[in-house]
Structures are given as C-alpha cells and as structure tokens.
Structure 1
C-alpha cells in the first residue's frame, strides 16, 4: 500500500496546521544544515508562523548573511565596487605617469640622456637651469645676509657687555682709595692731633702751671 500524498494547500484544521508547521519547520532547518555542511554554503532562514512567532536558522551569522544579501540585491551597491576600483586604477596610472615624468626631468637636469634631445628642447632645458640657478643664488644671498645680521647683533651685545665691565672696573678702585686714605690718616698722626677733647685738656693744665 503506497503512502498517500498530502495535497499542497492550506490546512483548514488549526491543530493539524500547527503540527504540520512544527514538523516541516524542523525538517526544513535540518535540510538547510545538511546543505550548508555538504556544500560549504552560507544559509539563513527566517520563518514566521501563522501566529507571528519567529523562527530562524543561519549557518554562520544571520546578520552577516543578510548584509551580504543586501549588498548583492542592490544594483547601486553592485556597481560601486567596480567604480571605486576604476577610480583607484585611474589615480594610480596618473601618479605613475607623474613619477615617470619627474624622473625623466631629474635625469635631464643631471645632464643624462640628452643625446636624443633637439635644439629647442636643449634651449628649454638651459632656461630651466638658469631659473633654478637664479633661485639658488637668491636663497644663498638671503642666508648670507641673515648670518651677517646675526653676527652684528652678537657684536653689539658683546660691546655693550664690555662697556658695562669697564664701568665696574672704574668704580671699584675709587672706593678702595677712599678707605685707604682714612686708614693712613689715622695711623700717621698721633692721638692728640686727631682728638680735639684731649687738646683742650692739655691747654688748660698749662695755664694753671
């Protein structure tokens, strides 16, 4: 006796519908897990029951799978990586061309690879070198002038310091001479010449005699 196939239509009986939903959901998640394991596929399932209950399954991370789905389902996002890659490629080509030109110009300034240059190109190179030499000379003159200015400023500072030291040397001997004269006066004269009270006392005694 063969197994009778269940017709694919909505089950009217609520209890039978819930039982069938529970069994088929488990079977669906099991098949999804087997497919992910066997084929190394990223799978995410989101199921809402008739009552609004949420059931979900993800082989890795549901959020990552959903973000990947959004990335591949949005046409604008699909075009964005290719546009960004093209922009980066264009910028790289432009920078590479600029480096090549600057390298070639540097070789010419060093006097290399000039055999294939025309007279006009050599004249342009000569003008370029003259301009560069003029800028170098201006910069050199400016630095020499700055060094001279700094040396003059240091010279003025040294002269001011020397002048201040000379004034200190002049003032110091005068003070020494005044103190020495005081000492000489007190030592050369006798006590009666330096003390007026002693002189008066001696005169009084001579009168009484």
Structure 2
C-alpha cells in the first residue's frame, strides 16, 4: 500500500504539528544543501517556527546573499520584461546592420566614381590611394596569368614542331622508298624488306647487353648488304 495523500492545511494538533515541522524542516535543509552542491548555486534558507525560533542555511554569507537578493529585486522591478529586452536588442542589431550596408553601398559607389561630391580632399586622397593599390594588384595578377599562358603556348609550340619534324621525316622516308621501288625490279618487295630491316635495326639498338650487340651487328650487315647492292645497281645503269 502506498502512502496516502496528505491534505495541505494547518495541523490542529500541536504535537503532530511540531513533529511534522521538524521532519519537513530537516528535509528542506537537506534539499537546499544538495541544490547548492550539485548545481553550484548560491542558496540561503531562513525558517522561523511558530514559537519564533530561527533556522537557517547558506552555502555563502547569508547577509551578502540577502543583499544580493535585495539588489536583484530592485533591478528587476525597474527592468523591462525579457521580451522587451530581446526586441530592443534585435532593433539595435538591425540598425547597426543597416548602417553597415549603407556604408558598403557608399564605398562601392565611390569606387565606381559616383557620389564624390560629398567627399572632402582627405577622403578623395584616401580613395585614390586605395584605387591605385587595387590597380597594382590587378595588373600583377594579369601579368602572372599572361606569363603562365605564354609558357604553356611555348611548350605547345615546341611539341608541335617536334611532331611536325617527325611527320616530315616519315614522309621523306616514304618518298625515297617509293622512288627506289620504281627504279628497281621487284621494287615494292625490296623496299619493304629494306624498310623492315632498318626498323628492326633501330629496335635492336635500344636493347642492352650482348643481345643488343649481336642483333645490331646482324642488322648492320644486312643494311650494308642492301647499300652495296644499291651502289652496284646504280653503277650498272
């Protein structure tokens, strides 16, 4: 069975009233102590019994706590409500932001050369100095970008020249092979063999060690044989 609910009213029996007072007083003092320790709150508790006896608890000087309470009560009576304080705060912030926006708009117009009639000589000199510094930074950045683009174009030009030279060399090589194939009997097969032998020689030259030396020697022999054959053919003709 749970504890029954007690009706909150004055206890008529003196003995019961005194017992209840002692129990509730001790519980109240305990709660005040726990509140001050757990929540780091400044607590002051004052209790007068029906016989005029004083019971008190404070985690600080009780007189300083009472003075603080009096001051807070006076300030609270003269202060506005929380809603009014918040409204005033937001209104002040709104005015500050509006002023800042107006200043930025005026500065932007001055940088464009507009609304200069309201400026004095000192403000015009400051504006001129600011514009010169800005122009210097802009030109420096522009020159930096131009140099970067120039370097990229030069590298691209060198790459295209190398590719162009390689293509021209291949075209000249193909033209020579076509001329030889037209001048010699069975020219196309012979030109293909010469082209194949020369390419194999170039591939084998990139290899390392003894394999490179043997392969390059064989390819050079084949190549020299074809060259001698060309010379003998031209002499006969």
Instruction: Identify the TM-score tier after normalising by the shorter chain.
Output: 0.3 to 0.5
Based on CA coordinates, which of the two structures has the bigger radius of gyration?
A: 1
User: Structure 1 length normalisation: TM-score?
Assistant: 0.43
